[in-house]
Structure 1
Amino acid sequence: MSYYKLKKATNADDKTNLEDKHVPVIDAPDRVKKGEYFEVKLKMGEGIDHPMEEGHFIQYVELYADYYQLGRVSFTPEMKAEVTLTIKLEEDCTLRAYEFCNIHGQWEAAKEITVE
C-alpha cells in the first residue's frame, strides 16, 4: 500500500480492518435547506477506534463541498479524532472528507447532499 496514494474503502459493506480504522465517517443529513446551517460530524474510522498515540495518530481532517474547502481540523495524539462542524450550502454537492494518518497516509469518504 502506497503512503502517497489516496485511499478509500474498496467495499463500503465489507471494510478491511485497516479501512475500518481510517476511512472517515461523515454524519450529516441527506437533505438540507439552502443557506441554513447544519451540523456535520466527522469521525475517523468506524467500529474500531484509531490509535491516537505519539507514534501513530490522525494528523488532520479536511471537509470539502465538492472541491471547495469548508474546513480543516488538526489533531494531536492527546485528542480524540472526531469533530463537529456547522456549515451551510447553497446547492447540491458531494461532501468529501479527507483524513491523514501519519503512518497510513490519506483516506477519503464522500456523501451526497441535496439542497432544497
Structure 2
Amino acid sequence: MSYYDLKKAANGDDKTTLEDKHVPVIDAPDKVKKGEYFEVKIKMGEGIDHPMEEKHFIQYVELYADYYQLARVNFTPEMKAEVALTIKLEESCTLRAYEFCNIHGQWEAAKEITVD
C-alpha cells in the first residue's frame, strides 16, 4: 500500500492498529425522511485517537452523497479530528467520508442511507 493509494478497512471489524487510527467512522441514521435535515458525525479512527501534532495530523475530511460533495472540513494540529454536520438528502445513497492524514495518505469509509 503506497501513500497515494485510497485505503479502507481490509477486514471490516477486524482492523489493524493503523486502520483503527485512520478509517473514518460515520455516525448517521440508517433511514431518514426526504428533504429533512439530520446530523452526521464523522470521527477519524475508532478505539485509538489519531495524533493531532504538528508533524502528524489529519488535514481534512470530505463527505459525499454517492459522488456529490456535501462538505469539506479542514483541520489543524490544534483541533480534534471529528466533526458534526447537518445535511439533508433527496434520495437514498451511500455516504462516503474521505480523510487525509499528512503521513499515511487518504482513507475511506462508507454508509448506506435510505431516504423515505
Give TM class, smaller chain: over 0.9
Q: Counterpart of 1:2? A: 2
Q: Counterpart of 1:28? A: 28
- Report deviation, 1:97: 0.0
Q: Distance in 2 between matches of 1:62 and 1:48?
A: 21
| Letter of the structure 2 residue corresponding to residue 108 of structure 1 | E
Q: Counterpart of 2:41? A: 41
Give deviations 1:51-88, integer Å, cap 9, x for gaps: 00000000000000000000000000000000000000
TM-score by length of 2: 0.99
Q: Counterpart of 2:52? A: 52
| Letter of the structure 1 residue corresponding to residue 43 of structure 2 | K
Q: Distance in 1 between matches of 2:85 and 2:57?
A: 21
Q: Distance in 2 between matches of 1:11 and 1:86?
A: 30
- 1:1-116 equivalent positions in 2, closer than 5 A: 1-116=1-116
Give deviations 1:83-113, integer Å, cap 9, x for gaps: 0000000000000000000000000000000
> Any gaps of 5 or more consecutive residues in structure 1?
none
Q: Which aligned segments of 4 or more residues in structure 1 are displaced greater than 4 angstroms?
A: none
CA RMSD in angstroms, aligned pairs only: 0.3
TM-score by length of 1: 0.99
> Any gaps of 5 or more consecutive residues in structure 2?
none
Percent of residue pairs identical: 90
